[in-house]
Amino acid sequence: MIEQVCLNELLLESAKEIFETMVFMDLAECTEPAENAEDCALLGTITFKGALEGCLAFCCSVPCARAIAMNMLGIDTSEEIAEEDVCDAIGEICNMVMGSVKKRLAESAGNLEVSIPSVVSGRQLKNNMGEGSHKTTVKINIEDEYVTELSLLYHENSN
C-alpha cells in the first residue's frame, strides 16, 4: 500500500519539476487557505487506472490560469490570451504533472494508463469512488502570488 504522506511529497515534487522546467514559475508548498471559493476557478483533471485508479486535479483562479498559460506560451503580459489557450494550458499542466507522477510511481504501482485531460469551470472534486478511496491535497503557492490546490483522488485495485 502506498502511504498518503508519500503521495503528498510525490505530488509536490512532480508539480515543482513541471512548473520549473515547463512553466518557468516557482512553486512551493504552502499552508495558507486556498483562494476564495467564490472566485471563478478552473479545474483541470486527468484520470488514471492500473494498480492505482483515480483522478489528478489542479484547481486555480482564472488570473492564475492566465499567468500560467502566458508563461507556458511565452506571451507578454500586456498581450491578450484566448480562453481556449488558457484551458489548454491547464489541461497540459494536468497531463505533465500526471506524467511525472506516473514515472515516479512506476516501481511501486506498475504501469498506469492515463486519459486525456479535461478542464471545467468550478473547483469541487468530489469523492464518488466508494469505500476504500483516498484523497490527498497539496496546497501550493505559485510565484508568491497565487495559492492553488493539486489533488489526487485514488484507490488501490486488488486485481
The reported pTM is 0.86
The CA angle 45-48-53, to the nearest 5 degrees, is 115
Distance of alpha carbon 156 from alpha carbon 53, whole angstroms: 6
What pLDDT is stored for residue 121 in this prediction? 82
pLDDT tens, 118-134?
998 865 655 566 677 88
| CATH level 2 (architecture), domain 4-156 | 3-Layer(aba) Sandwich (3.40)
pLDDT tens, 59-84?
999 999 999 999 999 998 888 999 99
Show the cell assigned to 13: 515534487
Is 17 strand, coil or helix? helix
